[in-house]
């Protein structure tokens, strides 16, 4: 019995010791698990950020350029033309089931604006017909150019050749030079004390002394922004009196050239 008692005590101590010792897997985290958890925490936000800031700026720039290209057609004039597949106009950009019925086979319209549907997924040209009706024509892609190629629409925009454009500009400048001569002050009016322009002097001469007096002006370019203005004044069948001025449009300077023109300033 004496031998059994110590052995029983030792057995009980061993059992108690096994319960009291803490389990390592519960009391500590392994370094490997800690690093893995940290890496996961760092990767998660980066993945979300990348999903937000990827191709969005490029898409926005593409949409901006596309919209700018479409807006270049605002103000252009077109004519509907009878075709196998006529151009389709809608009553609203949000209801493509409702098509606008063009009253005439040939009717002109102007593009007034570029609009989108409410979802912002499609672009349309807002157009106004001569009848006063407003419709919407699909604008995405090259739809307008395709409608013109297949003959559904006819562009009425007139292209001005560089030569004609230059000629028109030259006529405008010549007119400006003539106006400068007409309004150029000459002698002072003794009654009013004001200097009378060339054109006023001609009208006064007609009213007072020469009822059949007629005159005209001609402009001829003689250099960059410089013109020679010639006035032909005639009464009845007499030879015309010729007066000439040199006009510099860059400075708006008017100089009487020949003696007849200079006499108006004496």
Q: Are residues 244 and 183 in the same domain?
A: yes
Q: Are residues 241 and 189 in the same domain?
A: yes
Number of domains in the chain: 2
Q: What is the pLDDT along the chain (266 residues), one digit of tens a residue?
A: 455 666 666 666 565 655 544 444 444 444 444 434 444 444 445 445 444 455 577 778 878 888 888 988 998 899 888 777 788 999 999 999 999 988 777 888 999 999 999 988 899 999 999 888 999 999 988 888 988 888 889 888 654 456 665 667 788 889 999 999 999 998 877 777 788 899 999 999 999 888 999 999 999 999 888 999 999 999 888 889 999 999 999 889 999 999 999 999 88
Q: Are residues 176 and 138 in the same domain?
A: no
Q: Are residues 95 and 184 in the same domain?
A: no
Q: Which helix (DSSP H) or strand (DSSP E) does residue 258 occupy?
A: none
Q: Are residues 93 and 113 in the same domain?
A: yes
Q: Is residue 70 part of a domain?
A: yes
Dist CA 235 CA 205 (whole Å): 11
Q: Is residue 22 part of a domain?
A: no
- C-beta separation of 126 from 113 below 8 A: yes
Q: Are residues 151 and 105 in the same domain?
A: yes
Dist CA 37 CA 46 (whole Å): 15
Q: Which helix (DSSP H) or strand (DSSP E) does residue 103 occupy?
A: none
Domain span including residue 168: 162-265
pLDDT of residue 227: 96
Q: Is residue 30 part of a domain?
A: no
């Amino acid at each position: 019995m004496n031998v059994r008692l110590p052995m029983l005590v030792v057995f009980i101590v061993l059992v108690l010791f096994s319960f009291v010792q803490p389990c390592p897997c519960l009391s500590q985290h392994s370094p490997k698990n800690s690093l893995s958890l940290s890496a996961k925490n760092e990767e998660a936000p980066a993945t979300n950020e990348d999903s937000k800031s990827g191709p969005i700026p490029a898409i926005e720039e593409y949409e901006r350029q596309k919209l700018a290209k479409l807006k270049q057609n605002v103000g252009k004039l077109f004519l509907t033309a009878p075709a196998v597949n006529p151009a389709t106009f809608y009553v609203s950009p949000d209801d493509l089931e409702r098509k606008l019925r063009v009253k005439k086979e040939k009717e002109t319209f102007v593009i007034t604006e570029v609009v989108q549907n409410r979802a912002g997924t499609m672009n349309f040209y807002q157009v106004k017909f001569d009848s006063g009706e407003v419709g919407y024509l699909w604008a995405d892609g090259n739809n307008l150019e395709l409608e013109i190629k297949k003959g559904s629409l006819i562009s009425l925009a007139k292209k001005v050749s560089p030569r004609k454009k230059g000629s028109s500009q030259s006529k405008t400048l010549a007119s400006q030079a003539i106006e400068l001569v007409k309004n150029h002050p000459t002698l002072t009016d003794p009654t009013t004390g004001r200097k009378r322009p060339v054109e006023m002097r001609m009208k006064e001469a007609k009213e007072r002394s020469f009822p059949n007096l007629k005159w005209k002006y001609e402009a001829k370019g003689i250099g960059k922004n410089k013109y020679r203005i010639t006035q032909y004044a005639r009464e009845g069948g007499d030879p015309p009196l010729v007066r000439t001025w040199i006009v510099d449009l860059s400075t708006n300077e008017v100089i009487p050239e020949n003696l007849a023109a200079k006499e108006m300033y004496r």
